[in-house]
Each structure stands twice: as C-alpha cells, then as structure tokens.
C-alpha cells in the first residue's frame, strides 16, 4: 500500500474518532460544530501515538479538536501575511526570503495551526501557477532563498515537487530552498514509502540548489523509530534538517518536557532552530498560548538542562512587524530584539516593554519603551538602543 492510499484512511469525522477515543455524547456535538468550521484530519499513524487513557495527552491535544476551539478570542492573520502577498501564493515580507504557500492540505490538521484560516478550507492564498512564483523570484535578485510551505508541501505528488525544485534551480541568485513540513512527525511514511522523493532530494541537494527540510517536532514522543528512520533517509540524500517547535500549553510548556525534546532532536542529528511563541490565532489562543513571562522562564529552565547544540534554538514570536526574539526579563520589563524585520532598518533593534500579567503577544504589552538614534545617511544603519 502506498502513502497516498494510507492517507485516504485518515480520521476525518467525530463519529469515526469516537471509535478510537472515549468522547462523551455532549462533547461530540460540540466537536462536530468545531470540525464544521475547521476540519479534522488525523493519520492513523499519529493517532496510534495517543495515550487513550489520558484525556490531556499531549499528542491528542495537538491533533484532536476541543470545545476550547469555540472560543473566538484572537484573530486569524496574526503575522500580517495577507499584506505581504505579491503574486498568488507568494509572500515577500523579508528582503532575502520568498515564502510560497504550495497547498492548503496537511496529513494532520494540527489544532494549534497558525494558518487555521486556510488549512483544509477553500482558499485563494495558495499558489495557482508556479510559473508566476518563479517569475517573481527571478525578477527580485535580493531573494536568496525560497521557503516552500503550506499546508504541508510534502503532501503533494513527488512529480509536482520535482517540478518546483527544477524551476527554482534555474534561478541563479538563489542559494538554497527550504521545505517546511511536519510529515516527519505526523506521517513519516511519506519519506519511508516513496524512494522517488528521496531520490529527488538527493539529486537537487548535490546537483542543484541545496535542499533544507525544516521539520516540526513539538514533543519527544513524536521522535519515534519511524521518524528517526525517515530523518536518516533525508540525511543520506544530503538534505539538512532543522526543527521549528511551538511552545504549547499542555504539550511542552514545562522545562523537563522541552529539554527532552531538544535532547532527542540533537541525538538524531536534527538541529533545534526556533521555538515559536504560540500566536494568538482565533480558536487557538485560549487552548494553546502560554503567557510570555511563563514562556521565557520555561525556556531558560530548559536551557539549564541542555548542552551545546541542544540549546542553540531561539525563542521568538512571528509578529506582523517581524521575527521578534524574546531575550530577557529584568524587573518588570521584558526585552526583545528583531531577529528579522519587515522594515530592514529594524533588524537588530533591541527594545523593552513593561510586563503585563498574562500577556501572550507583543500587542498585549504597553507601548514600546525605546529610543532610536537618528537615521544615518550612510548605507549602514545605526544600532538602535534602549532609552
């Protein structure tokens, strides 16, 4: 049986889910309401990782709908993605990077997804003509890398992915291509059961543009033998694998759990890259977002348990103004730095805001407290400082 046949057996209805997990009748009705708005899709592989005796199991929490999703606090486009669309399916927010939304589908529809507005739903935000994407990239020589995301691009047919990489390999100013995917965590059979995909990666990694897979493990229980074998196949093909995790309430928001994840990643050769603050997405915020103050101290306590590469990751939030690193707390202030910025002048900007209990996002804090030096007439901007 091929990987596509396996995906057709996914759990997509509450009725079917109730055959595997204990769901009360009253809860069933609420979950059906949730799923009508934001579809459910769970691979049988991922469901097999759930501890059925634990209603708060972290794997269950990430994949199975909850009545908390009826809460409408937050908003859908938390990173200002729509404002950065240049052609259908392509966003250009940061100077050197083009982000391509190649699909709106995933093997598993994660309940914490920050693109909840489009995943599994009809949308005009995904790329319709890849030729338009390539033409845009070719005409913008400042773009040095392309991140193919979605949805999960590795759910697409191998031939289509090969076509994408072939087109991008013709762009002389591109240095590498990244593919953002969670299949290693939710459906490693995509890699294990399709040698043609691994061969495509090998060919382009060695003879075209270097391929990086940015995967998304959030809990050490996702680091199964199947996941490790899939990662090993990518390594053998010359693919570099990094991990982006999200700090999630009830999943990995304690130091021991977080440290276990990072240790496990490094042990299998995957470099921890980013740990994202959960975004205040509608139908996500209440269930998954951890307060910034709690998140910072959780990360610091975890890092005390880590060594070398395992503590390499940055704790960041992907804000509409840029990728903001959470760098410290002192007294009643929290300190930030723009690791990337929509306005290139802000890159490297260090600033602070007054802490507010329960704040989970930059917009929840008091107005910015900083002093900027005047703009220089030289090409190198001055280093902004805190006032």
* Per-residue 3-state assignment (H helix, E strand, C coil) for the chain: CCHHHHHCCCECCHHHHCCCCCCCHHHHHHHHHHHHHCCCCECHHHHCCCCCCCCCCHHHHHHCCCHHHHCCCCECCCCCCHHHEEECCEECCCCCEEEEECCCCCCCCCCCCCCCCCCCCCCCCCCCCHHHHHHHHHCCCCCCEEEEECCCHHHCCHHHHHHHHHHHCCCCCCCEEEEECCHHHHCCHHHHCCHHHHHHHHHHHHHCCEEEEEECCCCHHHCCHHHHHHHHHHHHCCCEEEEEEEECCCCCCCHHHHHHHHHHHHHCCCEEEEEEECCCECCCHHHHCCCHHHHHHHHHHHHHCCCHHHHCCEEEEEECCEEEEEEEEECCEEEEEEEEECCHHHCCCEEEEECCCCCCCHHHCCCCECECCCCCCCCCCCCCECC
| Residue 368 confidence class, pLDDT cut points 50, 70, 90 | low
pLDDT of 272-289, one tens digit each? 999 999 999 999 999 999
Please report where in the chains the tokens 């009830």 appear, as a residue.
250
Give the β-pairing of 322-330 and 333-341. antiparallel
| Residue 370 confidence class, pLDDT cut points 50, 70, 90 | low
What pLDDT is attached to residue 307?
A: 94
pLDDT of 145-180, one tens digit each? 999 999 999 999 999 999 999 999 999 999 999 999
| Residue 338 confidence class, pLDDT cut points 50, 70, 90 | very high
Q: Is the pLDDT of residue 383 over 80?
A: no
What pLDDT is attached to residue 366?
A: 78
Q: Is the pLDDT of residue 378 over 70?
A: no
Mean pLDDT, rounded, of the chain: 93
Q: Are 239 and 213 in contact (CB under 8 A)?
A: yes
Q: Is the pLDDT of residue 70 over 70?
A: yes
- Domains in the chain with CATH codes: 3-53 (no CATH), 82-364 (3.20.20.70)
Q: Is the pLDDT of residue 78 over 80?
A: yes
What pLDDT is attached to residue 377?
A: 36
Mean pLDDT of 193-198: 98
Q: Is the pLDDT of residue 374 over 70?
A: no
What pLDDT is attached to residue 302?
A: 99
Verify cis geometry, omega within 30 degrees of 0, for the bond prior to 151: yes
What pLDDT is attached to residue 124?
A: 82
Mean pLDDT of 179-205: 97
Q: Is the pLDDT of residue 380 over 60?
A: no
What pLDDT is attached to residue 145?
A: 98
- Laid out side by side, the sheet with 145-149 consists of 85-87, 90-91, 97-101, 145-149, 176-180, 210-215, 240-247, 271-277, 314-319, 322-330, 333-341, 350-354
Give the β-pairing of 145-149 and 85-87. unpaired
What pTM did the predictor assign?
0.93
Q: Which residues pair with 174 in a beta bridge?
A: none
Instruction: Return the minimum-mean-pLDDT range out of 12-21, 56-65, 124-133, 377-386.
Output: 377-386
What pLDDT is attached to residue 120?
A: 87
């Amino acid at each position: 049986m091929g990987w596509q046949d396996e995906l057709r057996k996914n759990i997509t209805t509450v009725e079917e889910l109730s055959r595997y997990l204990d769901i009360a009748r009253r809860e069933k009705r609420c979950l059906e309401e949730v799923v009508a708005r934001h579809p459910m899709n769970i691979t049988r592989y991922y469901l097999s990782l759930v501890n059925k005796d634990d209603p708060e199991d972290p794997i269950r929490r990430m994949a199975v709908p909850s009545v908390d999703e009826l809460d409408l606090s937050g908003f859908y486009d938390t990173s200002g993605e729509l404002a950065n669309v240049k052609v259908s399916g392509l966003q250009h927010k940061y100077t050197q990077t083009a982000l391509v939304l190649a699909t709106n589908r995933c093997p598993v529809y994660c309940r914490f997804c920050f693109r909840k507005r489009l995943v599994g739903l009809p949308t005009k935000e995904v790329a319709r003509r890849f030729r338009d994407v390539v033409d845009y990239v070719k005409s913008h020589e400042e773009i040095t890398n392309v991140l193919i995301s979605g949805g999960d691009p590795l759910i697409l047919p191998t031939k289509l992915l090969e076509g994408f990489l072939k087109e991008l390999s013709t762009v002389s100013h591109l240095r590498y291509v990244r593919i953002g995917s969670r299949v290693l965590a939710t459906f490693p059979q995509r890699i294990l059961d399709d040698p043609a995909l691994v061969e495509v990666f090998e060919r382009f990694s060695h003879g075209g543009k270097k391929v990086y897979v940015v995967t998304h493990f959030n809990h050490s229980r996702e680091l199964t033998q199947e996941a490790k074998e899939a990662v090993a196949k990518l390594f053998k093909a010359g693919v570099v694998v990094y991990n982006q995790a999200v700090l999630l309430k009830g999943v990995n928001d304690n130091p021991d759990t977080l440290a276990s994840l990072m240790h496990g990643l490094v042990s299998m050769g995957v470099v921890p890259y980013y740990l994202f603050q959960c975004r205040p997405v509608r139908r996500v915020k209440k269930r998954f977002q951890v307060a910034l103050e709690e998140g910072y101290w959780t990360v610091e306590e975890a890092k005390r348990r880590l060594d070398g590469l395992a503590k390499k990751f940055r704790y960041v939030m992907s804000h509409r103004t840029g990728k903001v690193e959470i760098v410290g707390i002192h007294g009643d202030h929290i300190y930030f730095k723009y690791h990337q910025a929509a306005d290139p002048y802000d890159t490297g900007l260090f600033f602070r805001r007054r802490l507010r209990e329960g704040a989970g996002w930059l917009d929840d804090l008091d107005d910015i407290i900083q002093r900027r030096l005047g703009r220089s007439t030289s090409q190198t901007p001055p280093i902004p400082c805190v006032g």
